[in-house]
């Protein structure tokens, strides 16, 4: 018997499958997932996306400085705008500030990229909340091996 949880999980995996091939480059996707997970305090997702980013070649100094990305010289303007959009979409607090940020986003991202970025943020926020609710224990996740 397929439970509602199984159906919901499969639906989320379908979204993730799309996002792995979306218009946002993989390094930025991982930075966004990690940053949103830090904001939400999801230990499991922080562990997962740190390991995925490292496995894909991301540098430790960029990962260590991610919580302070605004003060760090390691991120491109595009990455900075993407991270700020991700933070604002996660917190959804000040609508006026978001309008100004969205204008900057249009300078760095195409309409398709902005849409994909919003879906990346929505998906990782959902995963964070589910893993926090289920008290998923971090530590055992291992990144998939890259196909050679």
Q: Range of 78's domain? A: 25-133
Q: Is residue 110 packed enough to be buried (19+ CB in 10 Å), middle (13-18) or exposed (0-12)?
A: exposed
Contacts of residue 12, defined as CB under 8 A and 6 or more positions apart, other chains included, come to: 123, 126, 127
User: What does pLDDT average to over the chain?
Assistant: 91
CATH of the domain at 125: 1.20.1290.10
The residue-averaged pLDDT of 66-86 equals: 97
The residue-averaged pLDDT of 58-62 equals: 96
Statement: residue 71 has pLDDT above 80: yes
Does residue 117 sit within a domain? Answer: yes
The residue-averaged pLDDT of 39-65 equals: 97
Calpha distance 39→108 (Å, rounded): 23
The total of structural domains in the chain comes to 1
Helix (H) or strand (E) holding 4: helix 4-19
Q: How confident is the model at residue 96 (pLDDT cuts 50, 70, 90)?
A: low
Does residue 81 sit within a domain? Answer: yes
Does residue 6 sit within a domain? Answer: no
Q: DSSP assignment of 59-109, as one string?
A: -HHHHHTGGGGGG-TTS-HHHHHHHHHHHHHHH---HHHHHHHHHHHHHHS
Q: How confident is the model at residue 1 (pLDDT cuts 50, 70, 90)?
A: very low
Statement: residue 133 has pLDDT above 60: yes
Does residue 140 sit within a domain? Answer: no
């Amino acid at each position: 018997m397929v439970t509602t949880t199984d159906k919901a999980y499969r639906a989320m995996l379908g979204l993730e499958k799309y996002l792995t091939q979306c218009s946002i480059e993989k390094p930025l996707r991982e930075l966004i997932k990690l940053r949103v997970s830090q904001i939400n305090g999801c230990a499991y997702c922080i562990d997962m996306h740190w390991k995925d980013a490292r496995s894909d070649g991301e540098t430790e100094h960029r990962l260590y400085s991610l919580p302070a990305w605004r003060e760090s010289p390691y991120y491109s303007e595009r990455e900075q705008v993407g991270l700020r959009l991700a933070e604002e979409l996660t917190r959804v607090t000040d609508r006026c500030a978001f309008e100004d940020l969205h204008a900057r986003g249009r300078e760095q991202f195409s309409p398709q990229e902005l849409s994909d970025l919003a879906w990346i943020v929505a998906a990782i926020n959902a995963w964070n909340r589910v893993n926090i609710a289920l008290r998923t224990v971090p530590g055992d996740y291992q990144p998939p091996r890259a196909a050679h």
